Structure 1
Amino acid sequence: MTHWASRWHEMSGAAKFRLYTWATLQGTLVSMILVVAITARSPWPTAAIVVAGAAAIAAVEARPELGASTSPAIRRWLLPAATVTLAAVWLAAAVVARTATGDKVVAQARVVGILTVLLAVFAVLSFLRGRWWILLGLAVATGLAFGFTARAALGIGAGILAGGLVAIGTALLTVWGLRIVDELERTKVVEAELRVAQERLRFARDLHDVVGRGFSAIAVKSELATALSRAGKSDRAAAEMDEVRTLAVESMGQMRELVRGYRGIDLLGEVGGARSLLSAAGCRMLIEGDPAAVPGRFHEVAAWVVREGTTNIVEHSAATVATLTLGAAGMSLRNDNPHTPVGERSGLRGLAERLATVGATLETTATDTEFLLEIHWGEQ
């Protein structure tokens, strides 16, 4: 019992629904067949009903949408065999009804024939093309085979038609429900994969923003230290290398925080760090406006703009002057002497995605002499 309970808990919601549907359909068929067979109270109709019921159960099992675990190799012959069996039982019942002399035997043959047709409609006909026309033909044929008067034939045919409509509707709605559940399960899987992909993109973007600036600063200060060393200014070169070591340690710490999921970033700290980095790269940074003027909910993303914009200036320009403007409506970062087309700046794409999450927009303007990064905060 524990084994089956464990297996049930391990199954997905779609698999549980499919198993429940299969058990309900097959259980209903078995129950109906047993009830009719027991009430028949005669060997030959009981045997015929059991054979027809077994064929219907096999036909349902042969359907990929409804079967539990039947292999494709078995399905290939199971459905034709079940169809032939149902047709043979119906034909035998029709022959008995037409040749028998006792009313009781005729009534038993009629019950067997009508039940067999309904089982065939549910298990086989429901999944065929042109099912409605075939149902009409079966209703007429069954009425003529088991109705000895026009009124009886019409009544039997109408009953088969009504019962067949219910059977086909039940089968089709069952399959439709299973397909919806399967589609929802696939949607959940795709959604989970998309979330993983988005998280990977977010992590890659954050890693680029955090580590990119640190590496850019390390590269600039290393070049400066090399130049100072060659010029014989060993004290200044040593000081620059000390700063390189400090930057490396800070970058490692920032990376650890990023991996742990913490992305603390401060606008004032980024402005000060940007000015220091650009100064080391030979670029003077001018500040217009006040960081306090930036709306509070945009402070973090503004700090990311400063960080990414500064990294781009170092990596993609030979700037001598950069101007950072901060205000209540937006911010901008302008620099001279750009040398890389804006389309190649993958960091800006990540920055645009980050801005979009808070309702802000990014615009870039590039000329041969100037590059402008402009941010609008949007509705506040």
Structure 2
Amino acid sequence: MGAATLTDGGSEVRGPVRWWRGKSTPAKVETYTRWSFHFFVVVEVATFGLPAFSEVPAPTAGWLLLMVCAHAAACAVTASRALDWTRGRREQPVRLLWGLAAITAVIAATAIAVEELGPAGDGVDSAAGALFAGVLCYGAGVITLGVRDRLRAFAVVGGFAAASGILALPAGASGPGALGAMLAVLVGAGFLASTSMFSVWLLNAVYELDEARETRARLAVAEERLRFGRDLHDVMGRNLAVIALKSELAVQLARRGRPEAVDQMTEVQRIARESQREVRDVVRGYREADLGVELAGAQGVLTAAGIRCEVSGEADGLPAEVQSALGWVVREATTNVLRHGDAGRCAVALRVTPEHVVLTVENDGAGGPPGEGGSGLTGLRERLTAVDGTLEAGSVAEDRFRVVATVPLPTAPAVSEVVA
């Protein structure tokens, strides 16, 4: 048929980049959120563990680093399970949350002990004090991922701030020193807890928006089915009513022995055959369609789904059979953009030359590997074949998908290309 798959042989991306582009927007946001919390683990180790080697004797610094790594690992596991719970994939990790709180308290108490009983020196006190405040802040920030409402999150932050004062006072800290520790933990834990809560809110919002977008896509498909149902009703409703009336009239005439009954049944037979032909036209999609209406409808539906749609070109003056065939291309391409991939932009261009008409539909967010898919494109090729047209469809330039329909014109109209 002259159809070809558009591919960019040199643009096939492998490895992590292709894996990332194959994800939907919500999946990308979730992956980014998870790795952000895993990056916090690295920050915790780099901030409170590694600097100890420059300020504390080697054996003590090694123990401090080991404690920081243990706490960071516990935070990473707890954050991952808490995010799973947030998305409804697991039960609330209550044991992990209490376990992280216990590990945090033990390490904080150990840091205080090192500061009071460990080797003398300002470096030891500084490293131990930083570790003390750091584990409390990070512990509170991660634990808030596993609670549902704000009051409990505030209670977690306040509890860890109070715990810092409770641990500091018996260790010999002065009243202002203990108050300063509480304030530092309150600010640091509050910041990390707010970050955690905002991350969860953003992740849930993205998933909800994606679900709303899928709902709009399903509604668009349902609207198309309703339109098909209305077309079928328009075809069959009147004809069936006429058939019923003429059949009843033929029965009455036949009972009276009048010859007009034969004429009425002949008319019923004609209407039945005409209805059968019209139903075939509706089912097969060969009824004439207004390409201009289809272009405007596609732009409206895609815009409502949050996809920026640009339409260029004019369909005025094209033969009815050409408009009908290209109208179905617009419908099918619009449905594919809504139901597949993760498009943010779609461009529809209609170009008319003296020899042929070219309709191009291109969208981004195609994701997956290059190639064609679905039976819809096969159906479009069958419709285009009826008007000697061709269809080319496939991935181009990384994540973009393009559909190009070309239909020759039976006559040679003047060249018209209007950009809207």
In the superposition, the TM-score normalised over structure 1's length comes to 0.60
Structure with more contact order per residue of length (Cα contacts < 8 Å, sep ≥ 6): 2
Summarize the Cα distance change of 1:147–1:214 in structure 2 as closer, same or farther, 3 Å threshold.
farther
The answer to whether the 8 Å contact 2:26/2:206 transfers is yes
Residue in 2 that maps onto 1:105? 124
**1:21 aligned residue (26, 29, 33):** 33
2:197 alignment counterpart:
172
Shift of 1:86: 1.9
The yes-or-no answer on 1:249 pairing with 2:267 is no
Structure number having the greater helix percentage: 1
Relative distance call for 1:264 and 1:246 in structure 2 (3 A) is farther
Question: How does 1:203-218 map onto structure 2 within 5 Å?
Answer: 203-218=228-243
Of 52, 62, 67, the residue aligned with 2:71 is 52
Task: Specify the code of the residue in structure 2 equivalent to 1:149.
Answer: S
1:222 aligned partner: 247
Contact 1:89 1:116 in 2 (8 A): yes
CA–CA separation in structure 2 for the residues paired with 1:111 and 1:95:
13
Q: How does 1:258-297 map to 2 (within 5 A)?
A: 258-259=282-283, 260=285, 262=287
Residues in 1 aligned to 2:92 and 2:250: alpha-carbon distance in whole angstroms:
77
1:163 corresponding residue in structure 2: 188
CA spacing shift, 1:263–1:101, aligned 2, 3 Å: same
RMSD of equivalent CA atoms: 3.2
- Are the structure 2 counterparts of residues 149 and 77 from structure 1 closer, same or farther at C-alpha, using a change threshold of 3 Å? closer
Counterpart of 1:152 (choices 168, 177, 181) is 177
Counterpart residue number, 1:85: 103
For the Cα contact (< 8 Å) 1:221–1:241, is it kept in 2? yes
Post-superposition offset of 1:19: 1.0
Q: 1:126 to 1:220 in 2, by over 3 A?
A: closer
Higher alpha-carbon Rg = 1
Which residue is 2:216 aligned to?
A: 191
CA distance change for structure 1 residues 179 and 67 in 2, over 3 Å: closer, same or farther?
closer
Q: Secondary structure at the match of 2:261?
A: helix
- Deviation of 1:169 after TM superposition, in Å, equals 1.3
Contiguous gaps of at least 5 residues in structure 1: 266-380
Q: Which amino acid aligns with 2:141?
A: F
CA distance in 2, matches of 1:38, 1:165: 24
1:238 pairs with one of 259, 262, 279:
262
SS at match of 1:200: helix
Q: Which of 75, 78, 81 is the aligned partner of 1:62?
A: 81
C-alpha deviation, 1:51, in angstroms: 1.0
- Contact kept, 8 Å, 1:55 with 1:86, in 2: the verdict is no
**2:48 paired residue number:** 36
Aligned mates of 1:18, 1:58 — CA distance in 2:
16
Is the contact made by 1:40 and 1:46 (CA closer than 8 Å) also made in structure 2?
A: yes
Kindly indicate whether the alpha-carbon contact (under 8 Å) linking 2:100 and 2:139 is maintained by their aligned counterparts in 1: no
Query: Is the contact between residue 165 and residue 182 of structure 2 (CA under 8 Å) also seen in structure 1?
Result: yes
Judge conservation of contact 1:97–1:105 (CA < 8 Å) in 2. Answer: yes
In the alignment, residue 247 of structure 1 is paired with which amino acid?
I
Structure 2 match to 1:124:
143
Which position in structure 2 is the counterpart of 1:333?
Answer: none
CA 1:66–1:3 in structure 2 vs 1: closer, same or farther (change >3 Å)?
A: farther
1:112/1:261 CA distance change after superposition, 3 Å: farther
Q: 1:64 to 1:231 in 2, by over 3 A?
A: same
1:329 is matched with which residue? none
Cα distance in 2 for residues equivalent to 1:224 and 1:156:
99
Are the equivalent residues in 1 in contact too, given 2:30–2:203 (CA < 8 A)?
Answer: yes
Question: Following TM superposition, by how much is the alpha carbon of 1:45 offset from its aligned partner in structure 2, in angstroms?
Answer: 1.0
Opposite residue 122 of structure 1, the aligned amino acid is: G
Cα separation, 2, equivalents of 1:254 and 1:84 = 76
Cα drift, residue 76 of structure 1: 5.3
5+ residue gaps, structure 2, are 1-12, 54-60, 291-420
Listed as ranges, the matches of 1:302-341 within 5 Å are none
User: Quick one: distance in 2 between partners of 1:83 and 1:72?
Assistant: 20
Q: Provide the rounded CA distance (Å) in 2 between the counterparts of 1:228 and 1:165.
A: 91
CA contact (8 A) 2:249 2:261 kept: yes
Cα distance in 1 for partners of 2:289, 2:31 equals: 49
Matched pairs, number: 263
